[in-house]
Structure 1
């Protein structure tokens, strides 16, 4: 009984120390999330969203020179200066922001809502994540 009484303050202190680190980690994660949101907002500045589409048009594929950029769980297909398609995924493909490759399999010849994409590390060629596409929202520069 006496040993348990002596260990209780040590165990309690260790548990409290572990909990003390959580707010700092949470704050860092929130700052990173806010930085990603700010970066996405800057990238879409000056563009107006159009009606959501279930699929990307057939000519808008990464193999056709379209750049794919990751902002957290959001993927942008940059067609040009005046047209960007935004897709808010289910999450899991965030590593394309750190240079992982986005791999899609278009069964219909184009990417559509509900299709599954995976991310692959370019060096190891190991799969690092996966996500499902949401609607594709075109953002266009007002003329």
Structure 2
């Protein structure tokens, strides 16, 4: 009798854990979308670019699998990643490997935990979409 009850209980517990994880992922995605909408409010997307001049001063902001490169209040570059940088949400350091003076789509980006210095993920940027304030 116990041979059948214990596996059934474990199956129910496992499916409950998976369904609760789905709810967390949906809430995180909604939170990230709202944060992106707020950060890019009032700005108009432009033509996607393959590269970003790394000599231009900018601040970075991470939102989910997206990195925002802020040049000014009137110009922000949005860079979506392929989703392999697991440490972006936690605030891990971004280490870029670029070839030349530009950060380009396809260049590898690594995330590193600041405390332990252990790499937490590797991803690439798809493209840079400039968002500018309308004139």
Same fold (TM over 0.5): yes
After TM superposition, the structure 1 = structure 2 runs for residues 101-116 of structure 1, keeping only pairs within 5 Å, are: 101-116=93-108
Shift of 1:23: 1.7
After TM superposition, the structure 1 = structure 2 runs for residues 53-132 of structure 1, keeping only pairs within 5 Å, are: 53-60=49-56, 64=57, 66-132=58-124
Report the equivalent of 1:13.
9
Any idea what SS the aligned residue of 2:51 has? coil
Shift of 1:34: 0.7
TM-score (normalizing by structure 1): 0.86
Structure 2: gaps spanning 5 or more residues? none
> Which has the larger Rg?
1
Any idea what SS the aligned residue of 2:94 has? strand
Any idea what SS the aligned residue of 1:69 has? strand
Following TM superposition, where does structure 1 have runs of at least 4 consecutive aligned residues deviating by more than 4 angstroms?
A: none
CA contact (8 A) 2:86 2:120 kept: no
Aligned residue pairs: how many? 135
User: What's the Cα RMSD here?
Assistant: 1.5
Shift of 1:94: 4.4
Report the equivalent of 1:42.
38
Structure 1: gaps spanning 5 or more residues? none
